Amino acid sequence: MQRLTVIAKDATGLFADIAELLADNGIDIKNLDSQRAETDVYIHLVVSNYDLSLRLLTQAGYYVVSDECVLLRVKDAPGALAKLSRKISNLGIDTRSMSMLYQNQGYSTVAISTDNNDEVLRVFADVAISQN
């Protein structure tokens, strides 16, 4: 899975501007997550057309970072993410980002970006939903 991160100064209407830009070009936002750090906002997007979204957002003047992710299906229980994170860390793999995308019927779908996604896929093949 490919995820885009838009880094911008927080401003009224920022989400609306981005959503309208994508919608006006027939792009569906599949997942959106954001964090604010002082005056900046980090908007993580999973979209229906990655290449076009990247091009449109960049042309519109946004600073956009691409992030390759692995999707894993894990038990939705206290400590599940801690165990997953520890196992990845014990492999000597650096986790760059981790997002909960979906929770249903006792399981969560987690998007993880690391410095070695291929090894994460190999080790967690039994719970992998998709590859990079």
Domain annotation for the chain: domains and CATH numbers: 2-68 (3.30.2130.10), 70-130 (3.30.70.260)
Cα–Cα distance list, 131 to 4, 25, 79 (Å): 16, 27, 24
pTM of the model: 0.63
pLDDT in single tens digits along all 132 residues of the chain: 788 989 899 999 999 999 999 999 999 999 998 888 888 898 989 999 999 999 999 999 998 887 788 888 899 999 999 999 999 999 999 998 887 777 788 888 888 889 899 999 999 999 988 554
Contact residues for 107 (Cβ-Cβ < 8 A; gap 6+): 73, 74, 75, 76
Distance CA 79, CA 46 (A): 26
Distance CA 118, CA 132 (A): 8
